[in-house]
Amino acid sequence: MDLKNICTEMVEAARETALFILGESKKFDKRSVESKGLNNFVSYVDRGAEEMLVEKLGTIIPEAGFITEEGTSEKRGIRWSWVIDPLDGTTNFMHGLHPYAISIGLTDNGEVVAGVIYEVSGNEIFTAWENGGAWLNGAPIKVSDTDKLSRSLVATGFPYSKFERLPGYMECLIHFLKHSHGVRRLGSASVDLAYVACGIFDAFYEYDLHLWDIAAGMLIVREAGGMVSDFAGNMNNLTGEEIIATNMNIWPETVEIVSNFMLKE
């Protein structure tokens, strides 16, 4: 399987879908939004974009299954699976705020081997394939070389459910506010990960995500020379329930701080 060529086809699928999303953004009506749960929204744009991606990706590897946010395909693959978030940052999109992105990961027996994140408004296309490095619009990217969290710009995502973990999260957030260059919250986890990969952010942490939020991004960070784990430092079988992404220099310090606040008894 030529993963580089597959990644190129993934980009084309994302590019065509991005045109649909941009076109709908000019006439989008917030009244069309539905709620899937507390602060968890979906629109016809999410579903339409996902249907387009399922159709286009289905021609690349016909035997592959799908793991999708909106559930537009129930096909399951034995070896290969596409992991799709058609519009990561729906709340941003519905309010006319950037960024929002398309995220596509390809798994081989559960391991992500190719990933594309298309930040739609900025036309930023992040790509990676296994052992092929990480790329932004065709140019190679690397994580930052910052060696201390005190010199870092940290990204996070505010919780929108599971508020029982909020006290520890707020303590952690306060620590980073006091002991870093600042904290940013963009509203799109896939973009946060992409920006770690290209060195804009030095660290990112969040909880209560899903595989479709992180599949492409965690591969892109790793191929850019970074580290991805859960709050305890485990790097395998990540689902998005907990995630830390940093460069190699500050990963131990980040894990220590986040685990102290988020995993305490």
Q: State the Cα–Cα distance between residues 171 and 260, nearest whole angstrom.
A: 10
First to last CA, the chain: 46
Alpha-carbon distance of 129 to 68, in angstroms, equals 20
Q: Note the pLDDT of residue 26.
A: 82
Residue 40, pLDDT > 50, answer: no
Residue ranges per structural domain of the chain? 3-140, 149-262
pLDDT at 62: 94
- Mean pLDDT of all residues belonging to the chain: 93
Check pLDDT > 50 for residue 159: yes
Give yes or no for residue 191 having a pLDDT over 50: yes
For domain 149-262, give the CATH number.
3.40.190.80
CATH 3.30.450.20 for the 3-140 domain, yes or no: no
Query: Which residues lie closer than 8 Å to 77 by C-beta, 6 or more apart?
Result: 63, 64, 65, 66
Q: What is the pLDDT of residue 264?
A: 77
